[in-house]
Amino acid sequence: MSGTVTIDVDVCKGCELCISACPPRVLSMSQPVNRLGYRYPELAPGCTGCAACQLICPDFVFEVFRAPRAKSGAEAARAGSRSDSGAWPERPGPQGQERE
């Protein structure tokens, strides 16, 4: 299973709940702060698209995408004007639960 997320950094309030919620631990807090003065998460490679971050984020920062088949997600990584999406993970994973 592989996936990626977009991170709407400007609405993040820096609570860090996503950091420990992320099973593969691919989120970590930034050094710079956003316009509200908070640090925000940044994505490292290895996202599985599990959406745990989306579910746990009180500020609705994450958009989550999943690649059903192994595939480069570079496009996705570039998508989203204000997003700070991390690198696209290489490993394919099993088809998870998801929804339209």
Partner 1 sequence: MSEQELLLTGIGGQGVQLCAQVLARGAVIEGKHVMLFGVYGGAMRGMNTDATLVVGDGPLLSPPLLSHTGSAIGMHDKFWRPLAPKLRDGALVLLNDDTFDTPVDPNRYRVLRVPATERASELGHALGGSMVMAGAYAAASGIVGIDALLAGMRESVPSYRTQHIEANERMLRDGFEWATSQGVPA
Partner 2 sequence: MTQPTDVQLRQVGHKLPELLLTQEHHMCPGCGEPLALRGYLEAISELGLTSRTIAVAGIGCYTSFSMTMDIDLVQALHGRAPSVATGVKRMRPDSIVFTIQGDGDMVNEGLQEVLHTAARGENITCILLNNGVFGETGGHMTSTTVLGQRTKSSLDGRDAAYHGYPILIGDLIAQLQGAVYVARGSVHNAGAVARTKRMFKRAFEIQDQGGGFTFVEVLTMCPTGWFVPTLDGPEYMTETLGSVHIMGELKVDGVVRSTEELHAENVRKSAEVEQALAHGGIVEHQE
Counting contacts by CB under 6 A, is residue 15 touching ligand SF4?
yes
Which of partner 2, ligand SF4, partner 1, none is residue 94 near (CB under 5 to 8 Å by kind)?
partner 2
Structure tokens at 71: 């595939």
Q: Is residue 87 part of the contact set for partner 2 (CB under 8 A)?
A: no
Tokens 């984020």 locate to 57
At residue 2, the 3 state secondary structure works out as strand
Q: Rounded to an integer, what distance in angstroms lies between the CA atom of residue 85 and that of residue 53? A: 13
Q: Which of 1, 51, 67, 76 is in the footprint of ligand SF4 by CB under 6 A?
A: 51
Check residue 76 for interaction with ligand SF4 (CB under 6 A).
Answer: no
Q: Is 70 in the site for partner 1 (CB under 8 A)?
A: no
77 touches ligand SF4 (CB under 6 A): no
Instruction: Classify each residue of 22-61 as buried b or exposed e, where b means 16 or more C-beta atoms within 10 Å of its C-beta.
Output: beeebbeebeeebeeebbbbbbeebbbbbbbbbeebebeb
45 vs 80, beta carbon nearer partner 2 = 80
Q: How far is the CB of 38 from ligand SF4 (least distance, A)?
A: 7
52 forms part of the interface with ligand SF4 (CB under 6 A):
yes
